[in-house]
Chains A and B, each alone.
Chain A
Amino acid sequence: MNDEVAPRVRQASPGLAYLFGFAVLYLVMHLLYHAVPDRVLADVVYRWGINAPAAWIIDLLAPDANVRVDGNSLLAPRVHLEVVRGCDGSGAFFIACAAILAFRASWRARCAGVLLSFVTVFVLNEARVITLFFVVAHRPAWFMPLHTYFIPLVLIAAICAMFALWARAATRADVAAAAGG
């Protein structure tokens, strides 16, 4: 790595105050999320926000899969996939949001970061649901390790990478703004 670049890339180290801010923000978001009734999540968010787009994509990829949505469930002749609280990408989204909101950056950058997190988590979660649908249909034995181990770890790695790229861009923009001002 170039010597001039390395110190700037390597200077980022989390402060304990940042970690505390991250934890508090995560807790607040978690509590707000748990204030949402199960029925609202199942009948509105999971049905229209997660399952309907996933079913539409599955239908495009495999029209003979005969996928249909029933509330928080994705159904097909050999598949019954249920989206439940905690399996909806909310955990990853709250982690990304807490990390971004606790970061010292302009509010504009933070809002952009939250929006970016939403899009990233939504896309990754849809990819996860669609992947699991085909896994249950064709390789049910793979479901458990994928669902409980590999996919969550890939999701967290992707969120960390997204945060690192956002933090770099936000810091750069703030430095440029300060230099310009």
Chain B
Amino acid sequence: MRANESRAVSALLLRGLVAWALAIALGVLCGRGVVDTLRAAMETITEGLSEEYAPRYYWHEEQPDMLMLRADLLTPSAVTLASGVRRGQVVTTGTNLFHVLVPPVIVVALVACWPLRGWRQYATAAALAVPAATLSLLLTSPFLLAGKVEALLRAYAANTGLEREDSLVYQWMTMSEGGARWALPLLLALTCIALANRFAPSSRRRQASAG
């Protein structure tokens, strides 16, 4: 019995390893396409995060793995204007594609390696994993880049002895980069698993309740 259990645990760990490796490979192969698909949504979110600038996402010409955010300052705040930044000025910042992909890859990997009961639960978890992975990306990368723009505007203000108001975007970026960008996808993946368990009863449980 104990040997059987050890074998079962080893099998689960091996399965976890394979699922994790496949999710990582999937990120490498399809990551750019995923980000391209979500670029419009990322722009909409970034637009909602600040009224000071109009955001536009694009790929860096010389470094193809760099996702850039161009922020055209439209209505800079009083502090921003006082620090010498003008209307129409452009602020650019960027992040590496791989950095963007970590949260969705964690969601996919964890859902793929979690042991569930029966195809109904697997199908439900897989269906929930798609929006969860999308959400994990949209709750991290636009905030990271908007937070970086905020950091640049803060630096401009600090150079002239001014201080910008504390912003939630900047705080979320700091928290996210400090590890929440790993905790959030773990939570989302575990929520998918919990919902799959709750709303898609296994065939064994259905048989038991029928009997």
Residues of A within 8 A of B (CB): 1-2, 4-6, 8-10, 13-16, 19, 22-23, 26, 30, 33-34, 85-86, 90-92, 94-95, 98, 144-145, 148-150, 152-153, 156-157, 160-161, 164-165, 168
Contact = CB atoms under 8 A, between A and B. Distances in A.
Interface string B102-119: 100110011000011100
A100 B172 CA distance: 24
Contacts of B24: 149-150, 153
B16 A161 contact: yes
A30 B175 contact: yes
Nearest to B63: A144
Contacts of B16: 157, 160-161, 164
B102 A152 contact: yes
Given A14-B190, A15-B194, A19-B190, A168 B102 contact: no
Contacts of A165: 9
A85 B177 CA distance: 9
B91 interface: no
B48 interface: no
Contacts, number: 115
B179 A2 contact: no
17 contacts: A5-B4, A6-B8, A9-B8, A30-B179, A30-B180, A86-B177, A86-B178, A90-B178, A91-B182, A94-B183, A95-B183, A145-B98, A148-B102, A152-B102, A156-B106, A157-B20, A161-B13
B27 interface: yes
B169 interface: no
Nearest to A29: B179
Given A6-B8, A22-B187, A153 B102 contact: yes
Contacts of B182: 91-92, 95, 152, 156
B193 A85 contact: no
B165 interface: no
A148 B194 contact: no
B178 A2 contact: no
Given A144-B65, A161-B13, A149 B101 contact: yes
B115 to A, nearest CB: 5
Contacts of A30: 175, 178-180
A-B pairs, top 10 by smallest CB distance, nearest first, are A91-B179, A149-B98, A148-B99, A86-B178, A13-B197, A2-B4, A14-B190, A5-B8, A148-B98, A157-B20
Nearest to B16: A161
Most buried by A among B16, B28, B175: B175
Give the contact-size bracket for chain B.
35 or more
Given A34-B174, A160-B16, A149 B99 contact: yes
A98 B191 CA distance: 16
Given A5-B8, A9-B8, A30-B179, A153 B193 contact: no
Given A157-B20, A164-B12, 18 more contacts: A1-B8, A6-B8, A9-B115, A10-B115, A13-B193, A14-B190, A14-B191, A19-B190, A19-B194, A22-B190, A26-B180, A91-B178, A94-B183, A95-B182, A98-B183, A152-B182, A153-B20, A153-B109
Interface in B142-201: 174-175, 177-180, 182-183, 186-187, 190-191, 193-194, 197
Given A5-B4, A13-B197, A26-B183, A85 B178 contact: yes
Nearest to A157: B20
Most buried by B among A15, A16, A149: A149
Nearest to B191: A19
Contacts of A160: 16, 110, 186
A95 B186 contact: yes
